[in-house]
Structure 1
């Protein structure tokens, strides 16, 4: 029994690592170690839930619900996922990573319960969604970028027109007005967009506009 339980923990760590590698390669907030720990931890919780109270069951009319700990993992992992969601003004990032952690916890619970085939299949499906659907989405709608522009107010309309000419889909935008000691006004723009162009192409087009001082592309 102990050998099989140890194998469950090892398998959970391996499956969590597969998802974590994909997230790490994409430079996401939760990477390899986080996903391994989440999957191993949920597996151990499930093992405790199923086998950890065998020595007291049947004594003094004690009855336990083996699903209670698993239910707490499902809700508790939400706190960890919430920590990966970042709100930068009106831009929300990290939702996919949070969902990935939630699924990783589910895989750990499944492996901990002994349903190995379902756990492996769930891992494969998760990787297909994270990587395969991402590539399909990029081909159909383009890559998602965050633009950070520093420009003069007069050049803002020209910058937006340039993006429209490139057939770039602007998803969200926000503008912050900055004034220095000389009362010169500059705008800081944050733009979430999707484009089929490379970042270098977008950078060169926008930097050619008079009044655009600085561009960061993430």
Structure 2
């Protein structure tokens, strides 16, 4: 059992604490937006990356244990391992991919944790602040820019008499969309009987993200984006 180097313990504990706080801040933003990975996941990823980095550098920092060690090997393995963890929060639904920002946040948390482990606390702090600025500030600004989604409609087919349309409109409102029903049509030839409704959604996230969410609602048979042929900029 190795001896504790108390001259290094204080700074190492500070590095782990800093990684928990900074990466937890990244996770807090994800949790506020009801994503799969929240404060606990990001904080644990950051602390683990920080500790791996400290362990990889420890023989170089502790003169009592002059072991030849390539600290970059440990860092490289952390990066590789985080890739598998990030892949676990990415979901593919038809032609829509969800979870990319959360996966990138986990990847960034590992980098912040490694920076803390290497003693680069100021760099880790600046990176965390930039993440929050980009996600909370730039993201909503980009979504306000004119895009092709405003010319698109969504055709939703759902089972009749189950209150599905109410759940669809509620879910879209919770995601920040405003909705306007363009047309409805009974499909009594289908079994079970269903309804086809065309809706225009505006605001919020990209329309494909909304469609992916609506497709998961019980009773929704299909949700398809198509271009409004009557909408023209001219």
TM-score when normalising by structure 1: 0.67
Q: CA deviation at 1:90?
A: 2.3
8 A Cα contact 2:24 2:43, kept in partner:
yes
Aligned residues: 171
1:38 equivalenced with 2:45 (yes/no): yes
Partners of 2:25 and 2:44 lie apart in 1 by: 12
Q: Secondary structure at the match of 2:97?
A: strand
- In structure 2, the residue matched to 1:101 is 106
Q: Deviations over 1:55-112 (max 9, x none)?
A: 5535xxxx21011111111111000000000112222111111111111100000011
1:21 equivalenced with 2:60 (yes/no): no
Q: CA deviation at 1:140?
A: 1.3
Partners of 2:30 and 2:106 lie apart in 1 by: 10
- In structure 2, the residue matched to 1:3 is 10
8 A Cα contact 2:59 2:69, kept in partner:
no
Over 3 Å counting, the alpha-carbon distance change for 1:129 and 1:18 in structure 2 is same
- In structure 2, the residue matched to 1:189 is none
Q: Secondary structure at the match of 1:28?
A: coil
- In structure 1, the residue matched to 2:56 is 49
1:167 equivalenced with 2:176 (yes/no): no
Matches within 5 A, 1:138-177: 138-141=143-146, 167-169=150-152
Q: CA deviation at 1:25?
A: 0.8
Unaligned ranges ≥5, structure 1: 143-163, 179-196
8 A Cα contact 1:47 1:113, kept in partner:
yes
- Deviation beyond 6 Å, 4+ runs, structure 1: 173-178, 214-217
Unaligned ranges ≥5, structure 2: 1-7, 160-174, 187-194, 200-209, 214-234
